[in-house]
Structure 1
């Protein structure tokens, strides 16, 4: 089964809201909500990948962050190793750079959005 390593940014603003984005129609798990992030490239450090993906997807530069959770998750066709970073300070304004919908929400509202199953453990920890 194919395996991918993913680095993800859980971005928290000064109001303690979290940034989420909606996966596009052309993507695996289309229509689901997620935290910004993506595949770690060959030889790339996990935190470097998170920072790169955050900049590419929503235009933010992480300036303070720490590893929040690492876990493995098996889908029927894919095994993921996920590394979630909690970003508590950043520069820039969040933008929909890849055409995806983004929004800031309260952590308690995470339960109102349809996230991939691989995110449930982390969402429960954030609540």
Structure 2
């Protein structure tokens, strides 16, 4: 089975994280997520993260650091999530593709419905911050 590499941005400002909601018709639709997307061929994780976040939520990433790596098998597809922490960026993030978005306090993230692969990200955010 082919593994899909996905660049994911955990966008942090003070004690809040910016999240968006997946469209109902998408894989894992209706769930909240950290914005990002597939890493294209000939693209680094950093380039993919910056490109996806500009396209999806309109921010220009100034600095990013590796936060964690998650491999998850959904049964119908395997993903490798490259989680990047973004705490320096330009512009106010918003849903550029019509998706719902919001800032959420780190301690409240666990109250929202996320894909299974994202649970480890929330746990690490809670323990680190």
TM-score, length-scaled by structure 2? 0.94
- Which residue matches 1:88? 87
3-state SS of 1:63 partner: strand
Are the aligned partners of 1:19 and 1:35 in contact in 2 as well (CA < 8 Å)? yes
User: What is the match of residue 10 of structure 2?
Assistant: 10
Aligned to 1:68: 67
Shift of 1:3: 1.9
Give, in angstroms, the shift of residue 43 of structure 1. 1.2
State whether structure 2 residue 40 is matched by structure 1 residue 41.
Answer: yes
Runs (4+) off by over 3 Å: none
Query: Deviations for 1:45-80, whole angstroms, at most 9, x for unmatched residues?
Result: 011001101000000111121000012111111110
Q: Counterpart in 1 of 2:24? A: 25
1:57, 1:66 → 2: CA distance?
A: 19
RMSD across aligned C-alpha pairs, in angstroms? 0.9
Q: Which runs of 5+ in 1 are unaligned?
A: none
How far apart, in 2, do the equivalents of 1:61 and 1:41 lie?
Answer: 19
Distance 1:27 1:51 in 2: 22
| Structure 1 residue aligned with 2:104 | 105
- TM-score under structure 1 length normalisation: 0.96
Deviation string, structure 1 residues 89-124 (Cα, Å, up to 9, x no partner):
100111210010000010001011100001111110
TM-aligned CA deviation for residue 26 of structure 1: 2.3
